[in-house]
Every structure is written in structure tokens, then in C-alpha cells.
Amino acid sequence: MQTKLIGGGTAGLAGAELGIDPTFQAARVVQRPLDYAALGQILGHYRVGGKSGLMTGIAGAGPIFSFRWAQANAYAVIQQVKITGMITTAFTTPQVNDIDMIAARSFTASDTGGTALTPTGNTGKARTSMGTTQVADIRIATTAALGAGTRTLDASAMWIGHYITGNTAVTGAAPQGVVQDLIIYEPDLNAAQHPLVLALNEGFVLRIVTAQGAVGVTTIYVHVKWAEVVVF
């Protein structure tokens, strides 16, 4: 007996039949973006990039970037977080320049200070016809750490590593002390790894791990990709 798999159609019409490769007898499938329109909602896929100010003297565990989700009828699916960092003024004593990413639960009040990056209108959309993002707040530090909002951080970080090497200020095109496009979070979808899914009043924070020493000044660039999908 042969079994056929038929995809769901629209307006009462049958969908397409699943194709089987004649050589390897395997299903023909293709990767595609997450669905973002359902149950009368049009959400979408989004990108945001931000540059910090000249950060100096930030204490250990000081928050320098935060992302807060506060929608009950949708999820934010984080697809990638990456940074680039550089030293603009060398530290008096060379030190580790490290950063971590930690999940925030019960995130009912946004962090404060810094520069707000929350998109509005068409800003950050991967396609103009998508809805305006429903993210509650995104922000990045200027010269000092962000003020912590109302949130409970996990007991340990999701990722930790160094974002700057050496102790040489970047001058001109010189690459000293620069880490280019360091991916600190990205699910491996080919291995069916579950992405970070933010529900109501959840988010994540990037923090300086080792307190910044005397004189030294750093700048970071943060890039985040995410999708907003309907809760079923």
C-alpha cells in the first residue's frame, strides 16, 4: 500500500504532494524561514545593530546590552547574537576583556540608560510587509553600564568569552585589539538545536565579566537577528 503525504492547502484546495527523490528514496525538503503570520496576526523577522559609547570603568557583571520581550500572544525566537569589540584607549595594566550572555526571567521593567535601539515603523524589518516589531525594549550602553531593570538573571551565563585581544588602541586601519564578528549565540538548526525562545517578560543581557581597569576605553558593536511568531 502506498501512502501519500499532502500538504495543507488554502480555500479548500489540496496542497502539494510530498516529493520523494527517485535515487535515494528520501523526502525532498527545503529549509525556510519561520512562519510569522497566523491567527490574524502579521509578525515578522527583524535585525538590529548598535554601537556602544566609549565604555570605561564598568564593574564586573555590568550590563552593556539588553533585549526585553513583553508580549503574551507571540514569541521572540532569537536567531543570532554577535559582537565586534575594540580598544580605543589602552588600559594601564593589560587585562582580560570578556563578556557573557545571560537569560533574564520575570523581566517586567526594562533596563535604563544607554542608547535605545528599539525599532519603530519599518526599521529592522526583513520585509516591508511584515508587522512592526513588538519587542518591548532594546538598548546598548554609552560610557557606563546600563541600569538594571526588574528582572531575575539565570544562575549562570548561556555563553562567555573574550571580545577583545591585546591591549593596543586601534589606530587607522590597524587591526590590533579587535575581534571581528564574534558570534556569541546561534542555534545549529541543521542539528535540530532548539533556539532561544522568549515568552512574556523574558529577555537576555550582555555583561562585562571582568571589571574594566584604569584609563582603558572600549567600544562594542552588537548585532541581533530574531523572528516573532504566533503563540498557538
Q: Which amino acid is at 11?
A: A
Asked whether the CA dihedral 105, 111, 115, 121 is positive or negative, the reply is positive
List Cα–Cα distances, 35 to 75, 94, 177, 202, 231, in angstroms.
Answer: 12, 47, 40, 21, 11
- What is the Cα gyration radius of the chain? 21
Strand partners, 101: 159, 206
| Cell matching residue 19 | 516529493
CA 161 and chain centroid, separation: 16
Strands 150-153 and 41-42, bridge-based pairing? unpaired
Is residue 144 within 8 A of residue 218, CB to CB? The reply is no
98: left (phi over 0), alpha (psi -120 to 50) or beta: beta
Cα–Cα dist 211/96, whole Å: 9
- pLDDT, one tens digit per residue, over 161-177 is 988 878 888 765 555 55
Q: Is the pLDDT of residue 32 over 80?
A: no
Q: Which amino acid is at 53?
A: G
- pLDDT, one tens digit per residue, over 128-143 is 999 999 999 999 999 9
Strand partners, 125: 46
Identify the DSSP state of 190: G
List Cα–Cα distances, 59 to 38, 166, 206, 207, in angstroms.
Answer: 44, 20, 13, 10
- pLDDT, one tens digit per residue, over 46-89 is 999 999 999 999 999 999 999 999 999 999 999 999 999 989 89
Nearest to 97 by CA among 113, 115, 84, 112: 84
Q: What is the pTM of this model?
A: 0.85
Domain boundaries, the chain: 37-230
Cα–Cα dist 5/52, whole Å: 51
CA dihedral 205→206→209→210, nearest 10 degrees, is -130
pLDDT, residue 172, reads: 59
Cα–Cα dist 163/166, whole Å: 10
Q: 3-state class of 189 per DSSP?
A: helix
Q: What is the pLDDT confidence band of residue 31, given thresholds at 50, 70 and 90?
A: low
b/e 125-163 (16+ beta carbons within 10 angstroms → b): beeeebebbbbbbbbbbbebbbebbebebeeebeeeeeb
